[in-house]
Structure formats: structure tokens, C-alpha cells
Amino acid sequence: MKNKPYAWVPSLYLGEALPFSAVMLISVIMFQELGLTDAQITYYTGWLGLPWVIKPLWSPVIDNMKTKRWWIVSMQFLMGVALALVAFTLPTAFWLQGTLAVFMLIAFASATHDISADGFYIIGLADKDQELYVGVRNTFYRIGMVIGQGGLVLLAGYMQQGLFGEALQSLTSSWMAVFVILGVLMFFLGLYHAFVLPKVEKVLHDRFDFMEQMREFWLTLKVFATKPHIISALCFILLFRLPEGLLTKIVPLFLKRSTAEGGLGMSDVDFGFIYGTLGVIGLLLGGLLGGWAVSRWGLKKCLWPLVLCITLPDIVYVYLSYYPTESLWLIGSCVCVEQLGYGLGFAAYTLFLVHFSRGERSTAVFSICTAGQYLGGVMLPGMVSGLISDSIGYQNFFWLIMLLCLVTFAVTAWVKIED
């Protein structure tokens, strides 16, 4: 069973998605219910994305110390304990500072796990199996997002409604239970992978040479900086996702805020089903369709149609902010349309990063590209999005998103893509 990819590829990428959803998505809903403003939530959780931006800095350590298998199992055990620790921090007087500190620990462990898992996927599988299982890994990553962003938020809602008894009706108790469950899941994934992951690497006994790794990193930066059309490509990498980066953290808050605050007043149960389940399914379907379209007609021909797919559907939130509704099918349809379009456009964006990274030191260059897209398209916009929405209101915020789609159009028109 150890040498069968079906025994470990699905669970490995399930384990990659769960901690990410806990830190970047579930925490947003929990902090909103515990009384934080949009500006506070997006600023705090924006900083939690820092490890995914700077992870290329310590990826050489993972390549040169122990084995990737060791890092995977160790990080899963560490994240299991840390996720459970969130639960025990919530009822304390310093719950905000405590949970943020533990979330940052989980974020660093999760980013380290991502590096190890992606590297292990390459060395643990033959080339033909890498191609065969790429759909499997992406699907189970999305399943992990559905479990975290959808299932566990929905579970918290059921607990708050008293479905499992009076003791779990308080907000704090319900979220404590959710993080204990997450911690147990991660711990058992670590236990499972300790037995199932194949041993395909030799343990490195050489000392880690810091200066040599810094030299390698500098050479990678030099290759990246001397790429053709680097300025237009860098603008594309950093700014293509700007509207979506501002939107991503605000949409869950908009759906959850009361109508008096300008939101839709959705319960955790409805939110978990609509945004955490149907929305993720739409995102997955969009990614599959986008990849198929590019493979059939090429990136250059598909780029502008897919760019329109990632930008124009954002108008659904303008509509919902002006005409709030309790109709779950209407809200669900709007969310699915927007997430489907996001999946389509993001497929083209990801394939551009692959296209741009080809050549010398392609893997290391790609890691810099992904760090850049996370910095410009997720972390920085996400940190200020709450401050903007608190200042101008949801309606004006969503109109601003539509205006900023012009930035996406501008960098797309400027970027150079060969046939």
C-alpha cells in the first residue's frame, strides 16, 4: 500500500487544505461572530498570510535537512496540536492575542508543509503518475476546502442552534469544538502518513550551508530579474488579482453581517452550505473548464475571455448589496456564478506563471512568482479591504471593485505572451 499513489496523494492534499482553510477562512467567520470589525478581521488575518509569501526563503532548508517525508509528518503532528490549542485559547481573557499567535504558528507550519508536500509529489511519483494524479490532488485540495470552509462552519452553526445539546449553544463553545475536531483530523493524518508515505529519499547528513543557499537564492533572483519583458510580467503577477484580493475577505463578512449593517444576515448553516460548499464547487468547476480551454486553444487565445470571466461576475455583489434577499437559491446562484468565473480566470493566471517560469531554475522561479501573486493578489489587498469597506460601506466597496477591474484589464493588455 505504501507504494500506491492512491493511498497517499488524496490524503496529502487534504492535509494541505485543512490548515489553510482554518487560518485564512474559518478564522474570518469566527472573528466576525466574536465581535471584531471588518477592518480588524482583514488586517489581522491578512498578516497571517505572510508565511505563504516568504516561504521561498526557507525552502532550501527543507531541501537540505532531513527528508520531505519527515517534514510532512512532523508538520501535520504540529498543526494537529496547534489547532487544538486554538480551542483552549478561546475561553481565556487574552483570546484574541492567543489565537492570533497560534494561527501564525499554524501558518508557518502549513507553508512548510506545502513546500514539503509539493516536493514529495515530484520525487515520490514517476512522470506519468504526476500527470495522472494532478487532477486527484487538486480535487482533494478542494474537498479539504469544502470540509473546512463549508462543513465545519455549518457544524458550528448547528451547534449554536442547539442541535447537539445545550452545552454547545454558545459561540465560544461551538468554535472550540470545531478546532478540536480540526486538530484531531490533522493528528490522525500525520499518524496515517507516518505509515503510508513511501520512503523515497535518503537522509541528508551534511551540514546546512547557509552561505551556499544564499548564493543559490541570489542566482535564482538574477534569473527571474533577467526574464524577457520582466516589468510587464511583474505588473501582471502583482496586480492581476487586485480586485479579487480585495473582494475575497469581504464577501464572507458581507454575507454574514446583519441587514442593519448592510449585509445579508446569513446564518452559519446557510453560509457553510452556500459559500463553503456550492461556492467551492463552482470554483473547482471553473478551474477544470479553464484548464481544458487553454489546453485546447492555447493561453494567448483564451486569455481575454478568461480575464472577463474573473472580473465581470463581481457585479453580482453590487446587485446583492442594493437588493438584499433571504432567497438562498438566488444568493447561491450569485456566489456560484462569481466563483465559477474566478476559477476560469485563475486557471489562465496560473498557466501564465507556469509559462513565465519555464527555462533555467524553473521550479525556484515559479516559487517566486507564486509568492508575488500571493503578496499582490491576496495579502496586501486583503489587509486593507476591511478598512475600505468600513469607511465607504458595502455598496460603494463593490462598485470600487468593479472600477479596479480596469487595473486587471490594463496589466493584461500590457503583458507579453508568445503563441
Task: Give the model confidence (pLDDT) of 269-280 as tens digits.
Answer: 898 888 877 888
The C-alpha atoms of residue 272 and residue 37 are separated, in whole angstroms, by: 21
- CA atoms of 343 and 142, how far apart (whole Å): 12
- Residue 163 is predicted with a pLDDT of 60
| SS3 call for 204 | strand
Predicted confidence band of residue 169 (pLDDT cuts 50, 70, 90): low
Q: What pLDDT, on a 0 to 100 scale, did the predictor assign at position 120?
A: 84
The arithmetic mean of pLDDT across residues 199-217, rounded, is 69
Lookup result for grid cell 465607504: 392
Mean pLDDT of the chain: 87
State the DSSP code for 261: G
Nine cell digits for residue 176:
472550540
The domains found in the chain, sorted by start residue, are: 1-198 (1.20.1250.20), 209-419 (1.20.1250.20)
Tell me what the mean pLDDT of segment 164-185 comes to: 79
Position 127 scores a pLDDT of 66
Q: Among 151, 12, 138, which Cα is nearest to 76's? A: 12
Highest mean pLDDT (candidates 126-130, 195-199, 292-296): 195-199
- Tell me how far the alpha carbon of residue 144 is from its chain's centroid: 11
Mean pLDDT of all residues in 159-176: 70
Provide, rounded to the nearest whole percent, the portion of the chain with pLDDT above 90: 48
CA distances to 63, 359, 369 from 213, rounded to whole Å, are: 10, 20, 19
Say if residues 77 and 39 touch (Cβ distance below 8 Å): no
Q: Where are the alpha helices (DSSP H) in 240-361?
A: 242-256, 268-273, 279-297, 299-311, 315-322, 328-357
pLDDT on residue 371:
87
Instruction: Compute φ and ψ for 249, nearest 5 degrees.
Output: -80, -25
Q: List the one residue out of 213, 219, 220, 215 whose CA is nearest residue 59.
A: 213
Q: How much is the average pLDDT of 94-122?
A: 90
Angular region, 262: left φ>0, alpha ψ -120 to 50, beta rest: left
Assigned C-alpha cell, 57:
526563503
Band of the pLDDT at 167, cuts 50, 70, 90?
very low
pLDDT in tens, 26-58: 999 999 999 999 999 999 999 998 998 888 887
**CA 21/CA 342 separation, integer angstroms:** 18
pLDDT tens-digit map of 110-162: 999 988 888 787 777 776 776 667 667 777 887 888 888 888 888 888 887 76
Helix, strand, coil percentages (3-state) for the chain, rounded to 5, are 85, 0, 15
Distances (CA, A) of 262 to 69, 327, 330, 395, 397: 48, 16, 17, 8, 11
Query: What confidence category does residue 351 fall into, taking pLDDT thresholds of 50, 70 and 90?
Result: confident
Residue 191 and residue 74 in contact, taking contact as beta carbons nearer than 8 Å: no
Q: Which segment of 102-111, 251-260, 295-304 scores lowest on mean pLDDT? A: 295-304
